[in-house]
Amino acid sequence: MTLDVAPAWFVQTKYRAGITRITEPYVHPLLRASIWHLQGSDRDVFIDAGLGIASLRNSFPHLFARSPLLLLTHAHLDHAGGAYEFDDIGVHESEADEVRQPRAASLYADALCKHLGTTLNVLGSRLPPVLLDAVPEEHFDIDSFHVRAAAATQTLVENDSIDLGSRRLTVLELPGHSPGSLGFLDSESGALFTGDALYDGTLLDDLAHSSATDYRATMTHLLSLEFAVAYPGHGPPLSPRKARAICRKYLARTQEEPTTSEHA
């Protein structure tokens, strides 16, 4: 299959002061993760890094001027693929090895499903054979795509604090989608970054290493939080009302009543 070359691989959308969303518009929504850039007075952070098939550093050199910290919500290919471009990476300890030695990955739908331990029926029978509408450069080889290894420099756990000077993030453990899924809360501004624990779409809890039991506890945890805006791993920001509706819908769908989370 021959695909056109994209005129620009990334698109930026600025939200509140100091928060920018970067996306890969030519990637199928299944893998079109949100890359969040947060500006602090002392240091900046990226939350997730996309697929890594085009260079974030070359596309946005000004965002790398102060050696930003990369915070990974989890180690799936669409969030950790670009981690190799960062010198300082934080991730949950249960997923640090996967960052160092990434699992097999693919941009072909059927192969990707096998790697993720799921089926096309779960992810949607309308998935196209190739999960790209274009390529980042003329000689990009879809068959050779793989997630590059990166070195996690710090492991993160519940209630760890990340100080950016004018902004401080608190680490939240949000397992379910993956064992070490993380979120990050700026309690002063009310910004909540949820990764794939919460977004407006089908929440995936039956991949290899997923846990519906953990996911239910995570939903209860999220329902207990006070926040102003949720910035998810896929799609645009969510209001607290919308985010909580997603949590309750998941709990209802899995036929479990909300229970007190150990994190609450």
Place of tokens 């068959």: 143
More confident residue, 125 or 167: 167
Mean pLDDT value across the chain:
93
| 41-80 pLDDT, tens digit each | 999 999 999 999 999 999 999 999 999 999 999 999 999 9
> What percent of the chain is predicted at pLDDT more than 70?
94
With 80 as the cut, is the pLDDT of residue 20 above it? yes
With 70 as the cut, is the pLDDT of residue 142 above it? yes
Q: Which of 246, 98, 60 is nearest to 180 (CA)?
A: 98
HEC per residue, the chain: CCCCECCCCCEEEECCCCEEEEECCCECCCCCCCEEEECCCCCCEEECCCCCCCCHHHHCHHHHCCCCEEECCCCCHHHHCCHHHCCCEEEEHHHHHHHHCCCCCCCEHHHHHHHHCCCHHHHCCCCCCECECCECCCCCCHHHCCCCCCCCCEEECCCCEEECCCCEEEEEECCCCCCCCEEEEECCCCEEEEECCCCCCCCCCCCCCCCHHHHHHHHHHHHCCCCCEEEECCCCCECHHHHHHHHHHHHHHCCCCCCCCCCC
Distance in angstroms (rounded) separating the CA atoms of residues 159 and 139: 44
Q: What is the pLDDT of residue 17?
A: 78
The Cβ-side half-sphere exposure at 71, using a 13 Å CA radius, reads 31
pLDDT grade for 2, boundaries at 50, 70 and 90: confident
- Other Cβ atoms within 10 Å of 143 Cβ, number: 7
Place of tokens 């993760």: 33
pLDDT grade for 120, boundaries at 50, 70 and 90: low
Distance in angstroms (rounded) separating the CA atoms of residues 44 and 64: 9
